[in-house]
Amino acid sequence: MSACPVCGEAGDKAGLPGLEACGYCGLAFKTERYFGDPVYEEGLEDGIYGAAKAGLFARALDQLALAVPGKGRLLDVGCATGEFLKAAAARGWRAEGVELNPALALKAEAAGFTVTPLPVEQAMLDKDAYDVVTVFEVFCLMDKPAAAAAELFKILRPGGMLYVREFNAVFHLPLARLEAAGVFAPLGLKPAVIHNFNFRPRTLKAMLEAAGFTDVRVLNSKLTSGDAYRTGGLLGGLFTRLAKVLYYTLAQALWYASFGTAFAGSSLIVTARKP
């Protein structure tokens, strides 16, 4: 079995083909990783990178405005077409991005933003340069997420904040097993999201703390709006929207009932500070 890319412990079978799991930190990871660009149906990109996440971006910026009142310099890792950069700039942040997809990076640059086309751990960005770094569903796609976390710690100024949104393996791995068993096939549903790295709450916390971050806080994330990924199958977008609202409500009820220890949401929000 392979060593865990986050904590170095030995992996074990995760119950899905080509996937291993770390019994120590909880990371589930592919043994053969894929680093190509995601391919979406024609016409979906604008919704996936922008409209579906507009509410998430607004909530992130509301929280960051309270946590870092002076605003300042912001880096969005995996900035795609720059929709979050636009929202941040409109609020007074000096925003720039990192984006490996040349076509997406060109769109962000065309909107007036500086975009670095290298993995963040290779980009040689200035130490202590940023007041905030944001990472929306990108750790799961990175080549070396632990090394990237260490680099983000380095480029943040002391007191700076890291804001992460990431898929929750606690939710997606069981769904992936059901998908593999054909449970959702008759309705065409595809609810599970499995990437190279699939994080549990404790995995993210362990990775960030190992990088040097403190005050690591985890919450269930609200969901994207609509059905931008077309996962609703025969039940359609309305079903997906209603299911999202209901499931988030249930996940939050469980979180409160467990005194903040059970995270069943499909995605997580994680914040951390550089001391």
Q: Over the stretch 114-149, which tens digit does the pLDDT of each residue have? A: 999 999 999 999 999 999 999 999 999 999 999 999
Q: How far apart are CA 138 and CA 38, in angstroms?
A: 12
The count of domains in the chain is: 1
φ and ψ at residue 27, rounded to 5 degrees = -65, 135
Domain assignment of residue 105, yes or no: yes
Residue 52 domain-assigned? Answer: yes
Top-ranked range on mean pLDDT: pick from 31-45, 47-61, 93-107? 93-107
Find the CATH number of the domain harbouring 235: 3.40.50.150
Q: What is the DSSP letter of 51?
A: G
CB of 226 closer than 8 Å to CB of 241: yes
- The secondary structure element, H or E, covering residue 180 is helix 169-180
Residue 177 falls inside a structural domain: yes
Please measure the distance between the N-terminal and C-terminal CA atoms of the chain and give it in whole angstroms. Answer: 36
Strand, helix or coil at 208?
helix
Question: Any alpha helices (H) in 50-92, and if so which ranges?
Answer: 54-67, 83-90
Q: Note the pLDDT tens digit of each residue in 164-206.
A: 999 999 999 998 898 888 887 776 777 788 999 999 999 999 9
Residue 248 lies in a domain: yes
54: nearest Cα among 77, 78, 86: 86
The Cα 203–Cα 169 span in angstroms is 10
In a domain, 5, yes or no: no
DSSP letter assigned to residue 167: E
Task: Tell me the C-alpha distance between 128 and 187, whole Å.
Answer: 50
Statement: residue 49 has pLDDT above 90: no
Per-residue confidence band for 13, with pLDDT thresholds at 50, 70 and 90: confident
- Is position 219 within any domain? yes
The three-state secondary structure class of 132 is: strand
Structure-token pair, residue 243: 């299911």
Burial of 192 by CB count in 10 Å (0-12 exposed, 13-18 middle, 19+ buried)?
buried
3-state secondary structure 220-240: ECCCCCCCCCCCCHHHHHHHH
Tell me the residue type at 219: L
In a domain, 171, yes or no: yes
> In which domain, by residue range, is 143 found?
43-273
Mean pLDDT lowest among 25-34, 57-66, 133-142: 25-34
User: How many residues in total does the chain contain?
Assistant: 275
Specify the pTM.
0.91
Identify the CA nearest to 138 among candidates 272, 30, 267: 267
Residue 80 within any structural domain of the chain: yes
